[in-house]
Each structure stands twice: as structure tokens, then as C-alpha cells.
Structure 1
Amino acid sequence: MDTTTSTTLLYAALLAAAFLYITVVWRGRGSGLPPGPTGLPLVGSLLSLDPNLHTYFAGLAAKYGPIFSIRLGSKLGIVITSPALAREVLRDQDLVFANRDTPDAARSISYGGGQNIVWNPVGPTWRLLRRICVREMLSPAGLDNVHNLRRREFRATLRHLHARSGTPVDIGAQMFLTTMNVITGTLWGGNIGSESERTAVGKDFRDLVAEITEMLGAPNVSDFFPVLAPLDLQGIRRKSDVLKARFDDIFARIIQQRVKAEQDGGDTTADFLEHMLNLEKEGGDGKAPFTMTNVKALLMDMVVGGTETTSNTVEWAMAEMMHNRRILRKVQEELDAVVGRDGVVEESHLPRLRYLHLVVKETLRLHPALPLMVPHCPNADTTVGGHRVPAGSRVFVNVWAMQRDPAAWKDPLEFSPERFLQASDGGHERDFTGSELDYIPFGSGRRICAGNAMAERMTAYSLAMLLQAFDWELPQGARLDLTERFAIVMKKATPLVAMPTPRLSTPELYST
């Protein structure tokens, strides 16, 4: 039998197995499920799937209601689009829905799917990993410990932008580089060296992170038909393996350098990497093991999860303010009142920049970093909104749609930071704790984003620096585009490119 015939028979056998699986599994599943599109035999609604899943699901919710089911190959999707139902999933039945249905690409990127925080099932290992990150890096005390590092990187960005005065700057790319230097400096004490190296290496890192998020958000036959996953028909697993290998090489070199420095008796930095390497030597905390794979998986979590999400939020905020100059002027007036133009904004000023924080909140309302969050997966059959939700289904919470719901938000498509004023002033007072389920840009419950405090601080500091030190204009003839592009992370369809003009009182302030 030749190779072509063997391959054809294999495909036929696998498709038959997939069809048999659907026939058996879906028989009897119809009763009690949420309403939703019927779909086609075998493929369900795959052929009508829109790449912009957040808007596609919002359209289906308008037709079928705030909870609907959708068959995606052999997988059942349940989509939640209301605060009340989100509370059932994320708070009332938090433990039932706390696990993940890990995509094939994520299994590669996360060193097998169970080595990091994002995709690890809730249990002793997940609790250990989260405790390490929150206690050592992301707690208020942990963030305060690296205040000088953030200040150094923001001052470097200030000097760089001043040198680029009057020339176009890709704001998202620049803030990605700043954020990445802060995060890598926090993780292992190092950043990207000289100014020329910063530009070249920073672009490589950004492209690499962008490719990873694209792989994580791409529709994948292996996820819709797990029986076909070994074939990797779209090559997504192979591409993900290549991306992971590139990052793994970087992490391995950094770890080897640190281990060698310690063996040679040199001074080592008491940073996040050092803490993890010490814990790896100890083998864990007695309740769960901690391996070198966990070390690299957590580094991947921090680099991928913390860079693009923050820089994208800064880019969206700048785009929205440049679209509405009244808001931009109001932020700058607040900065002038609190900081003035004879000094440079510091993190210590942030608590007094009330309106700036409203801008951050409103940006994350209209443009949540993860519009569908990371999908949840119930570990047992349960009920939500009176409908049956089977164990193993993939549950999406459409944060993007919930935060634009006219039933919860007045003029929901308008960018209006004032809506977050205190209730006595006629607006909504919301924070990032996930307690108010109509506003959960960082999620809610035990799976709430561990890095929300760092993201809030980095975003606010970035915007304060950009707007206190510079005025911004689009290049001649350019148009402001607010179109979204869906991946697992919400992006602008076209980068925001703008030209800075210095507004501080003396040039020397940019070089201090």
C-alpha cells in the first residue's frame, strides 16, 4: 500500500472516529442545554465562525440570549454575556469552573499545559505557582521593591522620545519595549542593552510575543476535534513549538548564567529568578513539586502575559484621547496641577491623578485586554441560568460585550471616563477586584489576573509620562483608526503612530 493511500485511509478513519464521537456524545445532550445555533453535522458552527469572536458571540447573544450554546466541532461552547450569569460562573460556582480547556497551542507554549499559572488546573501546584508570583513579584511590597527599576526604564523612554521629537513614533511598540524592560528587569535583573540594541531586540521580542498570542487565539482544528490533534492539520502546534523553543533558548541562557555565577561564588541578585531557583533546589513547598520546567513556564507567563496586554492598553488609551482632545487636555491639566512642567512625573504622583485613573478604567471597559478572558472548563455537570452546562465544555465570558451593554452602561460606545465617578456624582464606581460583575476587565474569582496591580500601575505611569512630557499629533495626512483586531489579546488593527513635541519647561528635564 503506497503512502498516499495510507494517508487517505488514516484521514478517513480519524474523521469516522470524530463523527462517531459526536454521534455518541451529542445524543442526549440536547435537553436542558442553553439555546443556540443548530449548526451542521460534524462541524457544528465552525464554517460560520467569524475570526472576531467577541463581536460574533455578541451578535449570537442578541439572538439567543445572555447564555447560549454553540457546537464547535466535537466541542461544546457555552457563552455568557450577562453580569448575573457571570456571577454564577465566576463567584457562586467558582471552584466548579476554575479549570481550563487547554488549547493545543497553549500546551506547547506552557511546557505541556500544566506547568504555569494560566493553564494549570486548580490544585496544590497551581496554588504554589500563584503564591510565588503574587508574594514575590506582584504584591504591593514586591512592586515597591523594584520602584527604582521602573523609574530607570521610564526615564530612558523619556530620553528616547525627546530625541525623536517631531518624528513619528509607534506608541504601542515603544511602550512594549518599556514594559518588557521593566518586566525582564524584575524577573532576572537585566534589560536590553544599548539604545540601538533596544530597538532591534525589542522588535524581535514584540514580534515573538505577537506570534504567540496569535497562535493562542487562532481557530485550530486540533481543538475542535481533539482526535485529530496528532495530525496538527494547520501546523499551529509546530509553529508554537518553534516559538516556545526560541523563548526557551533565551530562558536557558539566562538561567545558566545565573547558576554559573553562583557556582563561581559571584554576587547574585535577589530577584524573582533567584527566588525560583532556590525553590527549585528545595524541590517545592512540601505540598507540590517545583521544577526547572516550572521556572521557565513562569518566566513565559510573565513575559507573554505582562508585555503586550499593558502596551496595548496604553496604545488604546492614547488613541481614544487623541480622538477626544477634551479628555486629553483634561489629563494634561491635571498633570500640570499635580506635577507642573518644571519636574518629571513620578510614581508617587499617581495617587493624586484621579482623572488619569478614570481614563485607565474607561479604556479597559471599552477595550478589555482579553475580551473573552481565558475560557473556563467545568469539572462536573452543573446548571447556569437554569440551563445545563456539561462537564468539559468550554465556557466563554464575553467581557467585551458585557462592558458595552446599554442595560448596564449609559451611552456604552462613548469613551467617557466621567462615568466612573462616584455614584453620588451620577456615575459608576468600579475597581479591578472583580466584585462588580458588570466590570471585570481582569476577571473575577480565584482565576482573576494575578498581575492586575502591576498592570494598573504600569498603564497609569506610562500615560502620565507620555502626556506630562509631550504633546502628541498625528503625522500629516494620517487618520486615526480605532478598529479592533481580535486575538486572545485585544489589539488595534493599525498601530497608533504619532509625533511627540516636548512640553516640559527645560530640555535638561528630559535627560535627568
Structure 2
Amino acid sequence: MTMTMMSLTTSLPYHIQILVVFIISIATITSLGRILSRPTKTKDRSRQLPPGPPGWPILGNLPELAMTRPRTKYLHQAMKELKTEIACFNFAGVNVITIHSDEIAREAFKERDIDLADRPHLFVVQAIGNNKTMGFSPYNEQFTKMKRAITTELMSTKTLNMLVASRTIEADNLIAYVHSMYQRSETVDIREISRVYGYAVIMRLLFGRRNVTEDNVFSNDGRLGEEEKKHLEAIFGTLNCLPNFSPGDYLERWFGGWNIEGQGKRARLNNNIVRSYNNPIIDERVELWRKKGGKAAFEDWIDIFITLKDENGNYLITPDEIKAQCVEFCIAAIDNPANNMEWTLAEMLKNPEILTKAVKELDEVVGKDRLVQESDIPNLNYLKACCRETFRIHPSAHYIPTHLARQDSTLAGYFIPKGSHIHVGRPTLGRNPKIWKDPMVYKPERHLEGDGISKEVSLVESELRFVSFGTGRRGCVGVKVGTIMMVMLLARFLQGFNWKLHPDFGPLSLEEDDALLMSKPLLLSVEPRLSPNLYPKFQP
């Protein structure tokens, strides 16, 4: 300690002197440790972490992250300055690996998938899933049990076929809702109506009904009741609490109970609201199936979940696990279709020739004498190409859900220590000029046959040139349901109505906000394009 520092500290109260000396000592030890542990220059990358910006003692790069809005901007800017597509940030001792390359992403989720298949233990995530769900659980027996049950039972072809009628009711209700708005000369908020559709479909699949309370009174045009609106709002409130480079995610091992930035409190509050609607339905159904003999047949996912048994004849999924998994289903299934729909329609209005081509395909494949059905989806390749292009250029999040290294591994030849958080960028893949020609040009044709895509277009991008549903052990198991929801939403909108910008919206702008949503909700005017008898009535 220098004489100046000594004279400074001796002028302070004794307890402050102790604190100052402690902080200086820790900073000195940390800095010395960083110097001594700094890898030597070597051609063997496997002994080196990926490149990263210099950091502060103890906190590493966390101060810069905390001071930047949106926080992903700091990551992107640092990687740009480092001229790298894989980087390692130190956030209070946590190694955070960010990947902006399709080649490295494929290595991570194909070659190294087993090494990186865990999830970080974060307070916010525990408040939602409590290590009981497929998506949030560590890579262990609980994860394997839940994934097997969901994949082989809920998402099986047999179950999806059983629930076609439930999904079709909500596709019809979508048309009824928009048509009623036309009759009342109302503006159509595409974001709002797409979220209503996604919510209603998931409620039908989970619980076999749209209403979440017995005494709720519905409008007769497709709008949600007041309780459903509160339920949906809480679902998005829970979704918005998920980890997204919050400093609290990295400091919680020190201040876990301090509710840094309030994310823990918000997560618990919204999660409790969601469960206040879900749990009574689940409790009633558990009582029916496990104590009163059940029903004549399964009608929804909850019926199947409740009745599953293991090889010893014991019930496989506990009521608490079912309740946690239902929250995860809710927050995982609604935002993606709505985001995709809003951006797709906006891009089509910006590029009328694309809209014309999509409508022409619908008229040729389906015609104008009946409504498009799920059975038509395999033949609607151009519509699916539009959905793919929207996924590519307008993803619904900056990064895929966080992966955690279960053991020491390597990526791009660099050393990846056990416990590292792995993040793969979504817009940085889909908008990467090394992967895509003219990446900011909306061009669905790039996904059609002749550009390396099979004859029947799929929304899955297994080569991770962009991210739609993810891949690997932690990839989305609801690809079929997600594809159905997205394509039916777009197909029913385009087949049933002509769309144009509403005067209140102003000039069409494709500007995005910090969360990658359209900066302003898309407001449109609508006119029917089918015979009046084809527009269905609302079905509660």
C-alpha cells in the first residue's frame, strides 16, 4: 500500500479503514490471479478461453453489461470490436459464451450437445418451474422423464390427430373474431388478435376448453373474457421474467435473496396468477381420474398427463409436476406464433408481390369454396417459406434459452469450462451476411427447392443458419404443434380477408424495439374475400 493510500485510510473511521483495506486486498489478489492465470500465447486453443473484453476485478464485465440498454447491445458491440463470432464474457465469475456463427452453433448442439445440455440454476427459473419441468430442469432423470412423456404421449401423431377438432374450433373462432370486427368497422390489432388465437389454442389443448373459470361470461364474437385477459397478461408477465442477461442472474449466488432488479418478485407474482387459473382445473381433473374413475375417453393433454403410469403401475407424473409443466407450456407456446404473424403481414404489406404470391397459392391449393384446413399445410410451401423467412430475419428473442456446460468441453477449438453459460444469437445468425446473401432483404423464395431445401418446406432449420424451434437435446418438442399454429394463423388470415394499413397506424415502419417486436403494434383494416356463408359463428 502506498504512503498516500495509508495516509488516506488513517484519516477515516476505523471500521471504514478495515472495509477499504479489505476491498483493496481483494482487488489486488483478484488482479494478480488474473495475471497469473492468463493463458500464454500458444497455437493450442484448447487451453484458452474464447476471446473476450478485459474486465474489472471480481465483477469482470458485469458493470458494462449493467450500464448498457438493451444489454445484448454490449455483447454485440464487444464481439464486433474483437472481430470474433465466439466470445467469453466474465460476469461476476460466470463464464458466458456467446456464439454468432452457424458453424460453431452446429458444433455446440450436435457434436458437443451432451456436454452443453444442462440449465443454469437461477432463482427466477426456480420460481417458475422448480426443477420439475422439461424446459427448466437440469439434464437429469427428471428432464428425461418429462421429455419422454411429452414427446411420446402429448406430441404423438395419435394425440395430435385426436385434438384436430379442438384446434379447428379456434381457427374458426379466429375468422369469426376478425369478421365481427369488420362488421363493426373496428381496427384489427394483429399482435393482440394473434395472441388471443395462440392462447385459445393452448387452452383447448391443455384443458379442453377456452374459459378458465366456470362462471365466466363470453362475448359472442371471439374476444377473450376478463378472466382470460388477466390469465394471458400474467402468462406474458411470467415470460418476460425469464433470464435475459440481467445482472441478478450472475449475482444471485451472493445476493440470491435480495431480489436484485425485482425479477424474482415479478416472476413469483405472475407465476402465482397463472397457477391460480390453471391449478383448480388440474386439481379437479386429478380428482376425477385418480379417485372417481375418470371419463369415457381422453379429451386433452391434462387427461393424458394425469393417467400416465410407470412400469410398476404407479402414476408417472405428480400433480405438482403437471402444474409446473402447464405453466411452461403456456409461456412457451403463445409469443412465437404471434410475433411471426405480425412481422409476416408487415413484410407482405411492404412487399405486395409477396402477398399476391401467397394468396395465389392459397387459391390454387385450397380454393375459395371452403376454409383452409390443417390437411392443406403440406401443400402450402410458399406460406411456410414466408414463415421461415420471418423466423430468419425477425426472431422472437435475441438468444436461445441458456445452455450450461455439464463438463469441460471445447468449441471452435477454445476451452469451455464446466459451468459456462452458452448463448447462441438468433438475429446474428439469421442476419449474418456470411450465411445469407442480402440478409436484410425479405425473400421467401430463398427457402424453396433449389436452395438446398426439400420439396416439402419445413419450419425447422436443423443446420442452425437461423433459429426457429431449436435443435439437440434441448430443442423444442412441439415443432408439429408450433408449425400448425403458425401456418393456420397465416393461412386463415390471408384466405379470409384483404388487408391494408389502417390510417391510425401511419406509414409502415419495420423498426423493431429492444425485445425484437415491432416498435408499434400492427394496426390494419380488413375486408372479407370469401362468400358470407363461409364465415363461421363463434364457438365457446
TM-score normalized with structure 2 length: 0.84
Among 458, 482, 485, which residue is 1:455 paired with? 482
Q: 1:301: Cα distance to partner?
A: 1.4
Residue of structure 2 equivalent to 1:274:
303
Q: Please tell me whether residue 406 in structure 1 is matched to residue 467 in structure 2.
A: no
Among 96, 117, 134, which residue is 1:77 paired with? 96
Query: For 1:46-85, what aligned pairs fall within 5 Å after superposition?
Result: 46-49=62-65, 50-64=68-82, 65-85=84-104
Alignment CA distance shift 1:465-1:481 (3 Å): same
2-structure distance, mates of 1:278, 1:288: 7
When structure 1 is superposed on structure 2, of 197-206 and 145-154 the one drifting more is 197-206
Among 167, 174, 178, which residue is 2:197 paired with? 178
Residue of structure 2 equivalent to 1:194:
218
Q: 1:126: Cα distance to partner?
A: 0.9
The unaligned stretches of length 5 or more in structure 1 are: 1-7
Among 151, 158, 166, which residue is 1:134 paired with? 151
Query: For 1:468-507, what aligned pairs fall within 5 Å after superposition?
Result: 468-478=495-505, 479-487=507-515, 490-504=516-530, 506-507=531-532
Alignment CA distance shift 1:130-1:287 (3 Å): farther
Is contact 1:55–1:401 with CA below 8 Å preserved after alignment? Answer: no
Q: 1:21: Cα distance to partner?
A: 10
Q: 1:310: Cα distance to partner?
A: 1.8
The unaligned stretches of length 5 or more in structure 2 are: 1-15, 40-47, 212-216
Is contact 2:512–2:519 with CA below 8 Å preserved after alignment? Answer: yes
Residue of structure 2 equivalent to 1:5:
none
Aligned-partner residue type, residue 509 of structure 1: L
Aligned-partner residue type, residue 278 of structure 1: T
Among 222, 241, 251, which residue is 1:215 paired with? 241
Among 205, 214, 236, which residue is 2:231 paired with? 205
Q: 1:328: Cα distance to partner?
A: 1.0
* CA deviation vs aligned residue, 1:144-200 (integer Å, no higher than 9, x gap): 221111111111111111010142111121121111111111112111262277153
Among 170, 177, 190, which residue is 1:153 paired with? 170
Q: What SS class does the counterpart of residue 97 from structure 1 fall into?
A: coil
Among 328, 342, 347, which residue is 2:369 paired with? 342
1-structure distance, mates of 2:388, 2:360: 19
Among 279, 289, 314, which residue is 1:252 paired with? 279
Q: Please tell me whether residue 118 in structure 1 is matched to residue 147 in structure 2.
A: no
Q: Please tell me whether residue 107 in structure 1 is matched to residue 126 in structure 2.
A: yes
Q: What SS class does the counterpart of residue 517 from structure 2 fall into?
A: strand
Alignment CA distance shift 1:218-1:447 (3 Å): closer
Alignment CA distance shift 1:358-1:235 (3 Å): same
Alignment CA distance shift 1:481-1:117 (3 Å): farther
2-structure distance, mates of 1:148, 1:13: 70
Is contact 1:172–1:496 with CA below 8 Å preserved after alignment? Answer: yes
Q: What SS class does the counterpart of residue 404 from structure 2 fall into?
A: coil
2-structure distance, mates of 1:310, 1:400: 17
1-structure distance, mates of 2:272, 2:503: 42
CA RMSD of aligned residues (A): 3.1
2-structure distance, mates of 1:298, 1:272: 11
2-structure distance, mates of 1:377, 1:12: 36
2-structure distance, mates of 1:232, 1:477: 41
Is contact 1:79–1:396 with CA below 8 Å preserved after alignment? Answer: yes
Residue of structure 2 equivalent to 1:511:
536
1-structure distance, mates of 2:138, 2:320: 16
When structure 1 is superposed on structure 2, of 123-132 and 411-420 the one drifting more is 123-132
1-structure distance, mates of 2:421, 2:36: 18
Is contact 1:176–1:307 with CA below 8 Å preserved after alignment? Answer: yes
2-structure distance, mates of 1:404, 1:267: 50
Alignment CA distance shift 1:277-1:26 (3 Å): farther
1-structure distance, mates of 2:28, 2:227: 49
Q: 1:432: Cα distance to partner?
A: 4.6
1-structure distance, mates of 2:305, 2:24: 47
Is contact 1:158–1:510 with CA below 8 Å preserved after alignment? Answer: yes
Q: 1:93: Cα distance to partner?
A: 1.0
Is contact 1:14–1:227 with CA below 8 Å preserved after alignment? Answer: no
Aligned-partner residue type, residue 153 of structure 1: E
1-structure distance, mates of 2:22, 2:247: 13
Which entry has the higher C-alpha Rg, 1 or 2?
A: 2
1-structure distance, mates of 2:533, 2:453: 42
When structure 1 is superposed on structure 2, of 81-90 and 42-51 the one drifting more is 42-51
Q: Please tell me whether residue 163 in structure 1 is matched to residue 180 in structure 2.
A: yes
Among 230, 234, 239, which residue is 2:261 paired with? 234
2-structure distance, mates of 1:292, 1:372: 32
Aligned-partner residue type, residue 219 of structure 2: E
Residue of structure 2 equivalent to 1:4:
none
Aligned-partner residue type, residue 194 of structure 1: F
Among 33, 36, 42, which residue is 2:58 paired with? 42
Is contact 1:268–1:274 with CA below 8 Å preserved after alignment? Answer: no
Q: 1:232: Cα distance to partner?
A: 1.4
Alignment CA distance shift 1:21-1:348 (3 Å): farther
Is contact 2:86–2:97 with CA below 8 Å preserved after alignment? Answer: yes
Aligned-partner residue type, residue 179 of structure 1: G
Q: Please tell me whether residue 366 in structure 1 is matched to residue 372 in structure 2.
A: no
* CA deviation vs aligned residue, 1:94-121 (integer Å, no higher than 9, x gap): 10000011432111111x2x11111212
* CA deviation vs aligned residue, 1:411-470 (integer Å, no higher than 9, x gap): 0011100011223xx566674555313233222211111112211111001000001000
Is contact 1:18–1:227 with CA below 8 Å preserved after alignment? Answer: no
Is contact 1:360–1:460 with CA below 8 Å preserved after alignment? Answer: yes
Alignment CA distance shift 1:56-1:503 (3 Å): farther
Alignment CA distance shift 1:250-1:20 (3 Å): farther
Alignment CA distance shift 1:98-1:411 (3 Å): same
2-structure distance, mates of 1:355, 1:26: 54
Is contact 2:399–2:423 with CA below 8 Å preserved after alignment? Answer: yes
Aligned-partner residue type, residue 61 of structure 2: S
Q: What SS class does the counterpart of residue 56 from structure 2 fall into?
A: coil
Is contact 2:400–2:423 with CA below 8 Å preserved after alignment? Answer: yes
2-structure distance, mates of 1:358, 1:450: 21
2-structure distance, mates of 1:28, 1:439: 39
Q: What SS class does the counterpart of residue 40 from structure 1 fall into?
A: coil
Q: What SS class does the counterpart of residue 164 from structure 1 fall into?
A: helix
Is contact 2:234–2:271 with CA below 8 Å preserved after alignment? Answer: no
When structure 1 is superposed on structure 2, of 219-228 and 66-75 the one drifting more is 219-228
Alignment CA distance shift 1:494-1:39 (3 Å): farther
Q: What SS class does the counterpart of residue 447 from structure 1 fall into?
A: coil
2-structure distance, mates of 1:474, 1:164: 15
TM-score normalized with structure 1 length: 0.88
1-structure distance, mates of 2:258, 2:22: 10
1-structure distance, mates of 2:32, 2:305: 46
